[in-house]
Amino acid sequence: MVQPLSRDAGPKNPWARFGWLMAVIWLVFLIYPVIALLRSEAPAAWVVVGWVALIVFVVLYVTGFMHGMRRGGLGQNPAARQWVTFAALIVCTLVSVPAEGGSALSFLPFLMSFASYGLTRLWHWITTVSAVVITALCVFLLPGGMNNLSVLAIVALLGVVNTVSTWLIIRSVESERLGLELATSEGREALARDVHDLVGHSLTVVGLKAQLARRLMDSDPERARAELADIEQLTAEAIAGIRTTVAGSRATTLVEQLASCREALRAADIDLHVDGAPNALSPVQAITASWILREATTNALRHSEARHVRVVIAPGRLCVEDDGVGARGDEGNGIRGMRERAAAAGAAFSLVAGVSEPGVAESGERAGTRVEVTW
């Protein structure tokens, strides 16, 4: 007759540690079988059997309840111990009938609750329906059965309560499970986005520097060695970045990202011009801005064929413009990632092809691209 909060109640859950007290409190309703045994006119042997069955019933119910709170059914597979306990409770109830008569019906609410919260949903229905039918037959068919009419009302009411409460518990558990799956899925997407941004940017720069080092190998060996040293450093930084990203502790400041982007663009012979200061954005905004800047720079290096990139930083605003060929085709993972990051930070994201501001686009043949984030 007690409702466990969860099948997986851990050792720190007070219900799992002290819930047995509620089971003990509910046992007060067994006062009716006790009174029946004290007044019983059955042979002494049956009275003794009745007392033994009552004591065993109490022990089995309390221990089974404690075990069920930790590993109960509620639509899942209960432990074998629960089935054995349930069968033993039924036997105790049956052997009490000769000494207690109709008062043995008082055991039924406990059997109903044990089946509802400790066994499967199917056995909840089997036990509930059986208890109601048995009680109704005893009340309406046996001599003096109307004296147990209150028991029939309790059994029927308890059947409704158990049905509703167990349904709510199952829905709650399913909701928690779905919420956990959703959170896990979102976490994987965020991790994939972080790794994509980090690895995509780093590999793009490494590829450009490798091409430059190959071209300079014969004409300028010293600079070629310097580019190879940069590749080694970038590779080490990318590996460290992936490790810390997976650990969930990676954070790049906007100042660091600007310096990294300037170096990457310089290796590709692309000029970078910055208007504004990184401290124009709040620390929280700067985190998102650094990721957006990283991806926008990566796209400019990969796809734009640009000669100039301009970054504008103002309070509540980050804008990255280039004078390249303009955005073409469907949005890739990079652009989707920027949109998602901006949305998660409560910012508006826009991607516009056709930049024509002075100093960025040089002719009508180069449409250019503008990536802008505003808070």
DSSP letters, 39-66, are H--S-HHHHHHHHHHHHHHHHHHHHHHH
Tokens matching residue 145? 């059965």
Candidate from 138-142, 144-148, 163-167, 290-294 with smallest mean pLDDT: 144-148
CA distance 95 to 106: 14
Q: Are 110 and 147 in contact (CB under 8 A)?
A: no
Side-by-side strand order, sheet with 271-275: 271-275, 308-314, 317-322, 369-374, 348-353
Residue 319 φ/ψ, nearest 5 degrees:
-135, 130
271, pLDDT greater than 60: yes
Q: Where in the chain are all domains bearing CATH 3.30.565.10?
A: 252-375
pLDDT digits (tens, 9 = 90+) for 199-250: 666 667 777 778 877 888 778 888 878 878 777 777 766 666 665 555 444 4
CATH fold, domain 252-375, is Heat Shock Protein 90 (3.30.565)
- Strand partners for 348: 374
- Between CA 126 and CA 131, with CA 127 as vertex, the angle to 5 degrees is 120
Whether this prediction's pTM lies above 0.75 is answered by no
103, pLDDT greater than 80: yes
CA distance 91 to 173: 32
Q: What's the pLDDT at 8?
A: 43
9, pLDDT greater than 50: no
Q: Are 304 and 324 in contact (CB under 8 A)?
A: yes
Mean pLDDT over residues 333-354, rounded? 81
Confidence of residue 52 (pLDDT cuts 50, 70, 90): very high
51, pLDDT greater than 90: yes
